[in-house]
Structure 1
Amino acid sequence: MSDPWDLATAAHRWFNLAPDKLTERQRRVLKRTKARRTIALDTNADFTQALTFGQRLADRVASIGGSWGFIIGFGLVLAAWVGLNSLLAARAFDPYPFIFLNLLLSMLAAIQAPIIMMSQNRQALKDRLDAAHDYEVNLKAEIEIIALHDKLDQMRSQDMEQLIRRQEDQIALLTRLLDAASRPPAG
């Protein structure tokens, strides 16, 4: 009987592919399954360690800029700006229609939008890495479950063979006993 974890056998058994058609991911899963090694990783830790200072800063800006605290705080700053300039009237540093405030808001939006987009792109990349890793874990789990089913089927088959042999032995013994009992006594 061939080794079920031989690459050619495993490739055909689990993926219905020739070994040279396997992807690197499939090879990695088969190798780890054969070695009975885990495949689970902490993708968050790996991803976070690889971030540059600028990427961490962009993520922090995006998390602050996308929070209720920022929205409420910024709303209060805007209300104070408009209120103060309305009360000062003729001596206001940014009189109505608040052109300087519009300039500051436009500059803030021009800077904040690309930073948030960078953070979202990085989050999308992280999500793709998580999905790829989840696929590998699920694939390994599926292979392990099928392998367990195969082992159970094999054990069940062996148990059935042993049961049949025992029944045949019992039938033979009963036949001998019946033959002995049906013979007339010698004597």
Structure 2
Amino acid sequence: MAEREGPRLDVPRAPRRSLLPEYDPDVFGRASERIARFLGTGRFLVWMTVVIVIWIGWNIVVPDQLRFDRYPFIFLTLALSLQASYAAPLILLAQNRQDDRDRVNLEQDRSRNERSIADTEFLTREIAALRTGLGEVATRDWIRSELQELVRELEEHREREHGPEGG
């Protein structure tokens, strides 16, 4: 048999070296969720407002030599734009992770519901079988009605043979 050239399919490939840094997507995702959770709080809004007020106040009140961002506040605008450009993708990443969790929970709920429906259908069949079985069993009320019918028949028979006085 001829030897085959090329990689074997039953042997895993050696990991490739990459120029890009390696990272754990789960760790990055958890960090993005923490950041997104913080960005959606009142505490973040308060701190952001305090920083902006101090920034603007500093650059208006202090002497010219100590100002680092003059009136149109170009550096402040750049910093806020940079913060927004990172916040949006982090929030989207956190939402995607939440969607994945919701999808898994939905699938689990669906399978639980399917099992519950199957169990309910099984119990319904069992109850129907028990009712059918009980329909063939003599119950106390049925026996009582049968005995009362027999007593009536015996009384009628006795009246026919001995008359109404029973003599």
- For this structure pair, what is the TM-score category when the shorter chain's length is used for normalisation? 0.5 to 0.7
SS at match of 1:151: helix
Distance 2:112 2:25 in 1: 24
Partner residue, 2:19: none
Cα 1:158–1:166 shift into 2, 3 Å:
farther
Distance 2:42 2:25 in 1: 26
Structure 2 residues without counterparts, runs of 5 or longer: 1-23, 163-167
SS at match of 1:163: coil
Task: Give the RMSD, CA atoms, in angstroms.
Answer: 3.0
**Are the equivalent residues in 2 in contact too, given 1:89–1:95 (CA < 8 A)?**
no
SS at match of 2:107: helix
The question of 1:53 aligning with 2:38 is answered: no
The question of 1:87 aligning with 2:61 is answered: yes
Partner residue, 1:35: none
Distance 2:106 2:62 in 1: 57
Distance 1:153 1:64 in 2: 57
Equivalenced residue count is: 136
Distance 1:113 1:177 in 2: 91
Measured against aligned partners, the alpha-carbon deviations of 1:79-109 in whole angstroms (never above 9, x if no partner) come to: 1111111112523111111111111111111
Measured against aligned partners, the alpha-carbon deviations of 1:93-149 in whole angstroms (never above 9, x if no partner) come to: 111111111111111111121111111111111111111111111111111112212
Partner residue, 1:147: 122
Partner residue, 2:91: 116
Distance 1:158 1:51 in 2: 61
SS at match of 1:162: coil
Distance 2:91 2:73 in 1: 26
Distance 1:170 1:120 in 2: 71
Measured against aligned partners, the alpha-carbon deviations of 1:45-96 in whole angstroms (never above 9, x if no partner) come to: xxxxx97211111111111111111111111111111111111252311111
Moved more, 82-91 or 60-69: 82-91
Distance 1:86 1:163 in 2: 100
Percent identity for Structure 1 against Structure 2: 27
| Structure with the larger RCO, 1 or 2 (CA within 8 Å, 6+ apart) | 1
Q: Show structure 1 runs of 4+ deviating over 6 A.
A: none
**Are the equivalent residues in 2 in contact too, given 1:58–1:118 (CA < 8 A)?**
yes
Structure whose residues are more often helix by fraction = 1
What letter is aligned with 1:135?
Answer: R
Distance 1:174 1:101 in 2: 102
Alignment of 1:14-163 (within 5 A): 52-88=26-62, 90-91=64-65, 92-163=67-138
Structure 1 residues without counterparts, runs of 5 or longer: 1-49
What letter is aligned with 2:78?
Answer: L
What letter is aligned with 1:77?
Answer: V
Question: 1:169 Cα deviation (Å)?
Answer: 9.8
